[in-house]
Amino acid sequence: MTITPNTSYAAVIGHPIAHSLSPRLHNSIYDIEGLDLLYLAFDIPHGKLRSAVEGLCSLSFSGFNVTIPHKEEVMVFLDEIDPVAAAIGAVNTVKIKDGRMFGYNTDGLGFLNSLKGQNIECNGRSILILGAGGSARAIGITLAVENPREILILNRNRDRGEKLAMDINDYAGYGLSKTVVEAPEKTDIIINTTPLGMWPKVLDSPLAGYSFNPDTIVCDIVYNPLETTLLREAKKFGCKTVGGLGMLVGQGIKAVEIWTNKQIHDSTVRQVYDELYSVLKERSQ
C-alpha cells in the first residue's frame, strides 16, 4: 500500500504478540476493500498499558485490538464500554473518535458469524461450552440472546464455571445456563474454548474418550492446528465440525466495521479466510 499523510492507523496490543495473525488478517481486509488504513502490532508488557493506550489515542489511531493479557485491564482507561463487552467483562476492540475511547468485544460475534456462515442456528438448541475463560464468556454472553434452549458450562474450575452461568442468566434475564460436571450424552452444539489441542500439544482433547452423538455439531475455537484432535474425533462419529479460523476472521471483520462504519463484503470475508487458511496450512508443514 502507499502510505500518505491521510493514511489512518490501527493496531493490536498484547504480550507476547510476535505470532499474531491479526496484522496479516487486517491488512488483507484493507487491501481488498481499498481502505486507506494500516495495521501494526505492538508488544506491550505489563506496566506499560496505560502509556501505550494514551499514546495510540494521542496519535489519533482509528482504533486498536487488545489481546492477552490486557483485555480486562484496558477497560479502566476507556471512556465508554459497550453493554455486551461490559457483560463479558473484557474488551478486544477499541474505537478512538475525537480523542475519546469506546470499548467493544467482537469475539462472541466473530464466533456467531462463523456459525451463521455455515448455516448453523442456535435457536432452540442445547449448547455445551467447554471452558469458562475469556472467550467462553464472550461466546456465552453473545449466544444468550440467540434463543438457545440451554447453555451448559463444563469447566475445570467449578467456581469460574458457576460465575459464567450466573452472568449468562443475569444477561439473558432468566435461568438459561447452568454448570455440568461431565459432558451429557446428547447435546446439539459443543464449543471448545479451552486451549486443549492447540499447537504444540496437538494430541490433547477436552473430551478424550467421549462418544459423540452424530447429530451434535462440534466447534473448536482453537485454529492452530486448523483441525484439532477434538474435531477429528468428532468427525469419526459423523458429526459436523467447525474450526476456530472463522471466529478469528469474524472478530477482525467486526472490528474493522466498528472503526470504519462500513460493512465488509462477504466476498472479502471468504478471501481473507482462504488466505489465512493457506498461511496456517503452510506453518503446519
Ligand X SMILES: NC(=O)c1ccc[n+]([C@@H]2O[C@H](COP(=O)([O-])OP(=O)(O)OC[C@H]3O[C@@H](n4cnc5c(N)ncnc54)[C@H](OP(=O)(O)O)[C@@H]3O)[C@@H](O)[C@H]2O)c1
Stretch that binds ligand X, among 14-22, 57-65, 132-140, 260-268 (CB under 6 A): 132-140
Q: How far is the CB of 196 from ligand X (least distance, A)?
A: 5
Q: Which of 113, 187, 251, 268 binds ligand X (CB under 6 A)?
A: 251
Give the residue among 112, 97, 65 at the shortest CA–CA distance from 261: 97
| 71 labelled catalytic | yes
Angle (CA) 204 209 211, round 5°: 130
Strand, coil or helix: 4: coil
Stretch that binds ligand X, among 53-61, 93-101, 128-136, 145-153 (CB under 6 A): 128-136
Q: How far is the CB of 210 from ligand X (least distance, A)?
A: 14
Per CB under 6 A, 195 contacts ligand X: yes
Decide if 92 contacts 70 (C-beta within 8 A).
no
Q: Which of 14, 63, 103, 134 binds ligand X (CB under 6 A)?
A: 134
Stretch that binds ligand X, among 120-128, 172-180, 220-228, 261-269 (CB under 6 A): 220-228
Catalytic one of 48, 71, 163, 240:
71
Strand, coil or helix: 276: helix
Q: Which of 82, 107, 167, 233 binds ligand X (CB under 6 A)?
A: 107
Give the residue among 85, 52, 30, 106 at the shortest CA–CA distance from 262: 30
Q: How far is the CB of 117 from ligand X (least distance, A)?
A: 13
Strand, coil or helix: 142: helix
Give the residue among 92, 100, 32 at the shortest CA–CA distance from 60: 100
The residue whose grid cell reads 485491564 is: 73
Give the alpha-carbon dihedral of 45, 46, 48, 50, to 10 degrees.
130
Rounded Cα gap, residues 95 and 74, in angstroms:
13
Q: Which of 24, 48, 116, 160 binds ligand X (CB under 6 A)?
A: 160
Q: Which of 142, 193, 229, 241 binds ligand X (CB under 6 A)?
A: 193
The residues of the shown chain that bind ligand X, judged by CB under 6 A, are: 107, 110, 131-136, 155-157, 160, 193-196, 198, 221-223, 244, 247-248, 251
Active site residues: 71
